[in-house]
A and B are shown apart, each in its own frame.
Chain A
Amino acid sequence: MFYSSIGHYSLILGLCISLILIYFSVKNFKNSTILNTKILSFTFLQFFLVVISFICLIISFVLSDFSNETVFNNSHTTKPLFYKIAGTWGNHEGSLLLWLLVLTLFIFIFFLKTKNQPLKYKLLTLIFQQIIIIGFFLFLIETSNPFNYIYPMPEEGMGLNPILQDPALAIHPPILYLGYVGSSIIFSSALAATYLNIVSNVWASHIKKWIVVSWVFLTLGILLGSIWAYYELGWGGFWFWDPVENVSLMPWLALTTLLHCILVLEKKQVLTSWVIILSISTFTLSMCGTFLVRSGILNSVHTFANDPERGLFILVFLFSLICVSLFIFFFFHKSSQNNLNSFFWLSKETSIIINNWFMMYFLSVVLIGTIYPIFLDVLSSQKISVGPPFYHKLIIPFLIPFLIAMAIGPKLKWIKSNIVDKVYLILLLVISIVLSFLIVKKFDFNLLLNTILVSSALYLFFITLREFFIKKYSNISQNIAHFGFSLLILSILFNNLFSSEIITNLKVGETFTSSKTKIVFKSINQKKEKNYKSIIANFSIENLDGIIDNLSPELRIYNQPNIVTSEADIKTTLLSDKFIVINIVQNQDYFNVRYQVKPFMLWIWLSVILISFGGLISFFKKEYEK
């Protein structure tokens, strides 16, 4: 009760400070040439107030204060402490408070770290950022206040959805939000720079740090979500093209493109329109994601809150931001078109523009796949959902030239170049084609498409691999990231091609035998934990080579809320994952057993880590490729 009031009032104070900050910034913007020191103090104060409010919410969760509606809806006394704390941001209200926390933190850091930029630019960025912050304050206080009271106070809470009780999911939202919110700084800064007409290489190298940081966090955030889906949902996959996954992928695609454009802008006064539009769209796509997920407009496996009022608020807010940014872009941006023609056809710039168009294509495919069901629903009241085949058909063919461009592009020089090492480029291409032909042939798959796909991925793989040995680490971050990407595509391809699955119903003591594997259902144990009971099944699985693995999948019956979850047991080795999951068959002694062998799963995770590691290195490196 006490903590809820503190939290609530510090939120309101934080909102007031936004207004004060805007007032001071506008005044300072007009009059003086020196930064008003009050602005920095107020920015910190605002951050501090949101921290207090966030801590209050955590305390309410830890103490299980059920007079707080958010705690009541999402917690329970028997929940382990770790998930009580993680539950703070595992729900709609708390996650928005976290979003706000990161927003205020980032603008504070932005002010501290930005030294060599014009004062007007800093102030204008602050104003734009405060407009966004005000929007979120209002949204939080009006439609989703985390500090609502319930009277009389309930005895016990409703509990956190068990599928959300997973370590990967506990850190997934904060990491993802760091990425999303980082894009808001890029957005404000791009608008400010456009307004003042200072979009130049100086600005580019300043904002590049922010782009890289947001990109690294966004990449890791998506990875964690994917790991969670693989281990917890028990469907045996890591990406389902679910709308909620797509809305995190869209900003990532835009941000990745932006990351490449900003490298060009750093060198040469070109692609300014690209940079501005991408900065705007990265943030609006993040917001659009929030809208789609939070409003319940989409049907998805993990839509959180269904509340049209919230949806309307975000929708209006989102479109006002789009209008403002379009206005600024069209009226203040002076494009540098004369420079565009000076590209030589064979140069790094051209290859980056090619990359841009590919990325834009992928982005539009995902965007259309995600929002088309909404349009159709409005037009014809027909409910459809767009599944993996749509994305696979549209994306895979274009992946081939994309991969090849990715292999050759970085080898080109800025402005104008000839291809060096022609012999190696062709030699490696031939090797990749032969190698993938042999692989595909041996296992008798659909020959043509798979050969081309695998060979283009292998090509990128070999070229980046060779690069590690010959170059003097002048551009190691880019090379690591591209190497990671080739590894990712290869792992996904091999994972798809070589996966095998057995589905059967077994009783305790029974054995299932197929040509390659023997599954023995040995026994069942029961276990009682603090907030769930579990049934553990013990299997031993023998494959052709006579190697025996013991796997023990689990069924958990949570007491609050009363939900049964299947915990897969996964044995991870360097080359493949063995994945087994059981389900209850109603009223019978049988269990439904699903056993999968999934090669290269570990490499999918590792390669994404490698990709973000590449980004991280470029953040710590002083200069990019002299």
Chain B
Amino acid sequence: MKNKLLPIFITSIFIIIFIFFYRGLQNTNIYTPEIKINNKIPSFKGNLFDSNETTNSSNLFNTDKFYLLNIWSSWCVPCRKEHVLLMNLRKNKKLEVIGINYKDTKINAESFLAELGNPYKKIIFDKEGINAIEWGAYGVPESFLIKDGIIIKRYIGPLNKKLTKEIKSIIK
């Protein structure tokens, strides 16, 4: 009897370990949110850059204006070029530009804005890069055009003159 119990006992231990490892594989740390055009914006929480207050997505996109959400960082070289165009877009009254400051330090970001100007109505300070993940961003820079809580357009990489024209024509 004793001789039969031991194999069964050991085998079942290994089966349990197998199940745990298998389950562990299922929730690996890779997580790609599905952000598509014509979908609702993801709901998220974040800290505001200036005041450090917590805010959420419904507070940020609450009017019937168009929103351009721009993910940027002071260490990102293409962001500098793009920044001029954002300053230009800011003049448009039907549009609000919201920034997500991605994996940056406050001092660097502030000197970046002091040098090139601040096109953003509000900035979310995303030190860990978590908010950018919630938007399914590939990298910096990246921009989303939003109206009534719906993503209309998504621009991976820096904006250029042609794209800003497109944005302007959509807003009209």
Q: Mark A577-603, 1 if CB is under 8 A from B, else 0.
A: 000000000110000000000000000
> What residues of chain A lie closer than 8 Å to B29, measured between beta carbons?
296, 299, 306
- Is the CB–CB distance between A374 and B24 below 8 Å? yes
Q: Mark B97-113, 1 if CB is under 8 A from A, else 0.
A: 00000000101100100
Q: Tell me the chain B residues, 95-136 only, with Cβ under 8 Å from chain A.
A: 105, 107-108, 111
Stretch from A236-244, A311-319, A465-473 that touches the partner: A311-319
> What residues of chain A lie closer than 8 Å to B10, measured between beta carbons?
326
Interface assignment of A477: CB less than 8 Å from any CB of chain B? no
Interface assignment of A575: CB less than 8 Å from any CB of chain B? no
CA distance A330 to B22 in the complex (A): 26
- Is the CB–CB distance between A375 and B25 below 8 Å? no
Q: Which of B6, B11, B18, B27 contacts A377 (CB 8 A)?
A: B27
* Total residues of chain A contacting the partner, CB 8 A: 22
- Is the CB–CB distance between A295 and B108 below 8 Å? no
- Nearest B residue to A303 by beta-carbon distance? B29
* Total residues of chain B contacting the partner, CB 8 A: 21
- Is the CB–CB distance between A296 and B108 below 8 Å? no
Q: Tell me the chain B residues, 132-153 only, with Cβ under 8 Å from chain A.
A: none
Q: Which of B18, B105, B111 contacts A315 (CB 8 A)?
A: B18
- Is the CB–CB distance between B30 and A306 below 8 Å? yes
- Is the CB–CB distance between A297 and B11 below 8 Å? no
CA distance A296 to B6 in the complex (A): 33
- Is the CB–CB distance between A378 and B23 below 8 Å? yes
CA distance A378 to B20 in the complex (A): 7
CA distance A518 to B130 in the complex (A): 43
- CB B104 to nearest CB in A, in angstroms, measures 10
Give the A-B pair count, Cβ closer than 8 A. 56
Interface assignment of A342: CB less than 8 Å from any CB of chain B? no
Q: Which of A297, A319, A326, A586 contacts B25 (CB 8 A)?
A: A297
Q: A315 and B107 in contact (CB under 8 A), knowing A296-B28, A296-B29, A326-B11? A: no
- Is the CB–CB distance between B27 and A587 below 8 Å? no
- Nearest B residue to A374 by beta-carbon distance? B24
The CB with the most chain A CB atoms within 10 A, among B6, B29, B108, is that of B29
- Is the CB–CB distance between A378 and B111 below 8 Å? no
- Is the CB–CB distance between B111 and A587 below 8 Å? yes
- Nearest A residue to B16 by beta-carbon distance? A375
- Is the CB–CB distance between A297 and B28 below 8 Å? yes
Interface assignment of A45: CB less than 8 Å from any CB of chain B? no
Instruction: List chain A positions with a Cβ less than 8 A from chain B.
Output: 291, 295-297, 299, 306, 308, 311-312, 315, 319, 322-323, 326, 330, 374-375, 377-378, 381, 586-587
Query: Nearest 9 A-B pairs (CB), nearest first?
Result: A330-B7, A378-B23, A374-B24, A311-B25, A297-B24, A319-B18, A308-B25, A378-B24, A378-B20
Extra 12 A-B pairs, beta carbons < 8 Å, given A299-B29, A319-B18, A378-B23: A297-B24, A306-B29, A308-B28, A311-B25, A315-B18, A315-B25, A322-B14, A374-B20, A374-B21, A377-B24, A378-B27, A586-B108
